[in-house]
A and B are shown apart, each in its own frame.
Chain A
Amino acid sequence: MAPSNITPEDVRHVARLARLELSEAELERMRAEMDAILAYMDKLRSLDTTGVEPTSHAVPLRNVMRDDEPRPSFPRDDMLANAPDRAGDFFRVPRIIEE
């Protein structure tokens, strides 16, 4: 797989996944920057990592459990206080479902 040489279509696709609106100028700049950065990342491929376990966390931790006891949660008004738009006890958002 040829890793770098990212196309504008790749960038558009990733921007859609990431929910980022990019202007055409931003898109081209992003493409060039990602291309350069990923070309640098390609040095990782020169390492043979056959049989090497991946590390997703530096410190080995098993599941940490606590007792399942109900505790008070944050007051509803505190949680809604930062809402950009609310309707009563709900967060209000623009239309989700097509008419």
Chain B
Amino acid sequence: MLAALSIEALGARFRDGSATPSAATEAYLARIAALDPKVRAYTAVTRDAALAQAAEADARFRAGTPRGPLDGVPIALKDVLCTRGIATTCGSRILEAYVPPYDATVYERLRAAGSVLLGKLNMDEFAMGSSTENSAFFTTRNPWDLGRVPGGSSGGSAAAVSADMAAATFGTDTGGSIRQPAAFCGNVGLKPTYGRVSRYGLIAFASSLDQVGPFTKTVADAALALRVIAGADPMDSTAAPVAVPDYRAALGGDVAGLRIGIPREYFIDGMDPEVERAVRAAVDVLRGLGAKTEEVSLPHTEYGLAAYYLIGPAEASSNLARYDGVKYGLRVPGARDLVEMENRTRAAGFGKEVKRRIMLGTYALSAGYYDAYYGQALRVRTLVARDFHRAFQTVDAIVAPTTPGVAFKVGEKEDPLQMYLNDVFTIPVSLAGLPGVSIPGGFTLAGLPIGLQVIGKAYDESTVLRVAHAYERATDWHTRKPVLS
């Protein structure tokens, strides 16, 4: 079945002529038609445009001039990434009718690489959430158990890959929004180093943290996808002019002699014992492959969450000030003056969690509280980053759980703080701007995926992927598929 194949396997079929991009695209569209009414990963399916893009890719393969490993590969994008002429809602009522006049750099590069866009994917509104329950439209379901959430905020992106409704998808991660849903859905979710991938056309949530990355079925596919989207961009001055290596070529080497740190603070009271057991077993696997594992300490881990939930909302309150009902997006009619129009438009257009974060952020930045909250959070951010810098003086990579637990039931977590605690192991990495990947690291007895997180030095995605790849080759978790019919 074409839809089950990795990017690499699909590309091999295209090159040897045993399959075409059109056939693969039709296979994915058929899967989406059959399964998405249950999973609800897509906010929009761009069927006609996909078939047209696929036909162009067919012609390139026929002519013997394919563009590279992503040519003809069906992909989909989180609905936070702007697509010219295709509605981009950000999971929000306020952008429900928004049609961007330009493409995000990430999509421009994917298009130039020949990939085929299947559609846009559901998410928590403005990427704020850990379950897609904050989407203004509907909740995406976890393909492993339709009664559970896929994680978030890139829940649609994660669910689509696990349900074989795309060969790869792209999401964004601010505090864990790629890695946590990848863990919950049992696939590979990579958050690159802050600055590795352009944010142009990514609708901003927290600009000092937001980063785009791929969801894939294998680590090798993540390497291929990252290479396409990474690199400096004149449209985003924070996309750093750092050379982009051939990540795929860096895989396959062994991990013998590599020093891997296990952070003491990432095994906490209250975490799911099955997750802890799986991660400890994964460390044994890596040791069996010749890696030198040692305990490291990241002492400020427990403060990361509090710092993040001040910094993120503070930046969001500023970024989301642009939704004022003037230039694009929703406007509530009938207001007597401009301020009333803004007040009512934003009240009607934003959901509960977005309002909560705008309020928290505005409060944290307001006169009298700025230094006590926002200023202190920025200083704590420094301490969290220093923890990692110190650890990376003695180790090459860090291995830890992605989340303290596995996918929870839809509606189970109503208290906002309980929801925030999902991100406790992913947030510190984001605050420090480091790359991290979540890969399949086992299953609970009930059959739910467990995520293993590999963290690396800034711009050292190669080592992160190399460790992940070695583990993937030594295990078969990634070959399991959810049963969906």
Which residues of A pack against B, CB within 8 Å? 1, 3, 6, 10-11, 13-15, 17-22, 26, 30, 33-34, 36-38, 40-41, 43-45, 47, 49, 52-59, 61, 64, 66, 74, 78-79, 81-85, 91, 93-96
Contact = CB atoms under 8 A, between A and B. Distances in A.
Contact of A14 (B300, B309, B359, B380): B359
Interface stretch (B28-36, B342-350, B402-410): B342-350
B380 A47 contact: yes
A54 B375 contact: yes
17 contacts: A14-B362, A15-B359, A21-B347, A22-B347, A34-B356, A43-B303, A44-B307, A44-B373, A44-B377, A57-B433, A58-B194, A58-B458, A59-B238, A74-B102, A82-B328, A84-B331, A96-B337
B372 interface: yes
B391 interface: no
Contacts of B355: 20, 22, 26, 30
Interface string B295-310: 0000010110011011
Contacts of A21: 343-344, 346-347
A78 B329 CA distance: 14
A1 B375 CA distance: 15
Given A19-B324, A20-B343, A96-B338, 10 more contacts: A34-B360, A37-B309, A37-B416, A37-B417, A40-B417, A44-B373, A44-B377, A45-B376, A59-B195, A83-B328
Contacts of B336: 94-95
B433 A41 contact: no
Contact of A54 (B194, B238, B378): B378
A19 B328 contact: no
Q: Contact residue range for chain B?
A: 35 or more
Interface centre among A1, A20, A30, A49 (most CB of B within 10 A): A20
B319 interface: no
Q: Describe A's contact surface by its main secondary structure.
A: loop
Interface of B: 97-99, 101-102, 193-195, 208-209, 234, 237-238, 240, 300, 302-303, 306-307, 309-310, 317, 321, 324-331, 335-344, 346-347, 350, 355-356, 358-360, 362-363, 366, 368-369, 372-373, 375-383, 385, 416-417, 431-434, 458
